[in-house]
Amino acid sequence: MYAPTALEKTVTIQTLRKMKAAGEKFITVALYDAPMAAMAQKTGVEAVLIGDSLGMTVLGYESTIPVTMEQMIYHVEAVARGNRKSLILGDMPFMTYATPEQALTNATRIMQAGAHMVKIEGGAWLAETVRMLTDRGIPVCAHLGLTPQSVHKLGGFRVQGRDEETAGEILDDAAALDEAGADLLVLECVPAALAKRITESVAMPTIGIGAGPHTDAQVLVINDILGLTEQPPKFSKNFLIEAGDIPGALSKYAADVKNGVFPDDAHTFN
């Protein structure tokens, strides 16, 4: 059984690739401040994501769309000050990467704020952008399935890829982004079987949230882990209830993912 311990070495993209190759799950948490970042690495969290989810979890917006570059940079800088060993992923806000040139300008700002990688939402149309960024030394985490910045186009926060046509589109998108050089792939709110097919077909490690147990990693928002979400999504779990304190909740989450306990059927879309 896995028991979380403080990270002994700095986590890099190569670390995560080796873990995928070895079949070892890695842990990701979306968080937004220095104290929580410091605590996460002490409980064995390999990667931290400063998500534009902060618009909803911290700033009180109804979606991620109003989040600005300045707000993202503020929180990336805060997390970077508290972090020493975890890999830091910084989200690119809505319409800050509509063209490859715009993406390069704004990704530079996120990286200079302290991120080790940027995250962008979208499918094969982003392949040129991924190539431009990675060719210039900026690692990219792609994001498929439920992409919150497209919530109005999708018609709400809905599971994606439940029929053969849309599942095929997501598979094709994953292949295109993998070929373009993306380093990680978040799969959000897709059926577990589809997430498994993608994880087995791409070279880059996959990170699931509401995507079942077969991805190379899991990510949850810190608010969900600590039971701070008023209406938690199906895929989330309050680990604070079982653990009793915040470090214990993070450790419990990490251990349950590593040991294959979380996510279970209750937190998975089939």
Q: Nearest-CA neighbor of 185 among 194, 135, 96?
A: 194
* Options 8, 188, 230, 242, the catalytic residue: 188
Task: Tell me how far apart the alpha carbons of residues 222 and 215 are, in angstroms, rounded to a whole number.
Answer: 19
In a domain, residue 103? The reply is yes
Query: pLDDT digits over 69-117, tens only?
Result: 999 999 999 999 999 999 999 999 999 999 999 999 999 999 999 999 9
Region 196-207 average pLDDT: 98
Percent of the chain exceeding pLDDT 90 equals 84
Q: Which domain holds residue 26?
A: 13-267
Per-residue confidence at 270, pLDDT binned at 50, 70, 90?
confident
Residue 1 in domain = no
172 located within any domain: yes
> Given the structure tokens 């810190």, which residue do they identify?
222
Average pLDDT over residues 232-237: 88
Over residues 135-165, the pLDDT tens digits come to: 999 999 999 998 888 876 766 667 888 889 9
Q: Among 33-42, 64-73, 122-131, 147-156, where is mean pLDDT lowest?
A: 147-156
pTM equals 0.95
Q: Per the domain annotation, does 196 fall within a domain? A: yes
Q: What is the mean pLDDT of the chain?
A: 94
The number of domains in the chain is: 1
Q: Hey, what's the torsion of the CAs at 18, 20, 25, 28, to 10 degrees?
A: 80
Identify the CATH number of the domain in which residue 221 sits.
3.20.20.60
User: What is the H or E stretch that residue 54 is in?
Assistant: helix 54-57
The torsion region of residue 257 among left (phi > 0), alpha (psi -120 to 50) and beta comes to alpha
In a domain, 6, yes or no: no
- Please check whether residue 2 lies inside any domain of the structure: no
Contact by Cβ (8 Å): 6, 43? yes
Active site annotation includes 169 = no
- In a domain, residue 84? The reply is yes
Mean pLDDT of the region 152-180 = 87
- Out of 3-17, 46-60, 150-164, 167-181, least confident range: 150-164
The backbone torsions φ and ψ at residue 86, rounded to the nearest 5 degrees and listed phi first, read: -70, 150
In a domain, 152, yes or no: yes
Give pLDDT, residue 4: 80
Q: Return the minimum-mean-pLDDT range out of 25-29, 39-43, 156-160, 249-253.
A: 156-160
